[in-house]
Amino acid sequence: MKLNWVTIRVGDLEKSLFFYTQLLKLEIAARFLSGEREIVMLGSADEAKIELIYEAGKSVETPGKGVTIGLEADDLDALVHLLKENDLALTGPISPNPKLRFFFVKDPDGYSVQLAEHKE
């Protein structure tokens, strides 16, 4: 068994796309309509995806309480700098051991995103 995707519902697709594609640099793997919904799959072809589902006029209630999306950063310091430049609040750095350091940030709908950097 392998993980294919994790679905999150978003209240403003363009704000979410800016956050995930422009700031976090995730690729759009697919974008399509499904009835009243617009769906965007984020991530590379060979990895699990984040599926954004947008439905006009529907708000996101209690986004992912107790759930965190974890992403590995290529350059955590540069990413933190970019997020701060865009007025996003971060929690961290947290370093539970010498090989791991991470920050938390909230996406436009309030989902918790953990940005990690592993060192060898």
Q: Which of 73, 120, 65 is nearest to 93 (CA)?
A: 73
What is the Cα–Cα distance from 110 to 62, expressed in whole angstroms?
8
Write down the pLDDT at residue 59.
81
The answer, yes or no, to whether residue 87 has pLDDT greater than 90, is yes
Q: Which of 118, 14, 24 is nearest to 80 (CA)?
A: 24
Q: Which of 99, 118, 108 is nearest to 52 (CA)?
A: 108
Task: Report, in angstroms and rounded to the nearest whole number, the Rg of the chain calculated over CA atoms.
Answer: 15
Does residue 63 belong to any structural domain of this protein? no
Does residue 61 belong to any structural domain of this protein? no
**What is the average pLDDT score of the chain?**
93
The answer, yes or no, to whether residue 60 has pLDDT greater than 90, is no
Q: What angle is formed at CA 2 by the lines to CA 20 and CA 12, rounded to 5 degrees?
A: 25
Q: Domain total for the chain?
A: 1
Does residue 62 belong to any structural domain of this protein? no
The answer, yes or no, to whether residue 67 has pLDDT greater than 80, is yes
Domain containing 114 — which CATH number?
3.10.180.10
Q: Which of 36, 74, 42, 79 is nearest to 57 (CA)?
A: 36
Does residue 95 belong to any structural domain of this protein? yes
Write down the pLDDT at residue 120.
79
Give yes or no for a cis peptide into 108 (omega within 30° of 0): no
Does residue 30 belong to any structural domain of this protein? yes
Does residue 90 belong to any structural domain of this protein? yes
Q: Whole-prediction pTM value?
A: 0.91
Q: Where in the sequence is the domain holding 9, given as residue range(s)?
A: 5-56+68-118
The answer, yes or no, to whether residue 62 has pLDDT greater than 80, is no
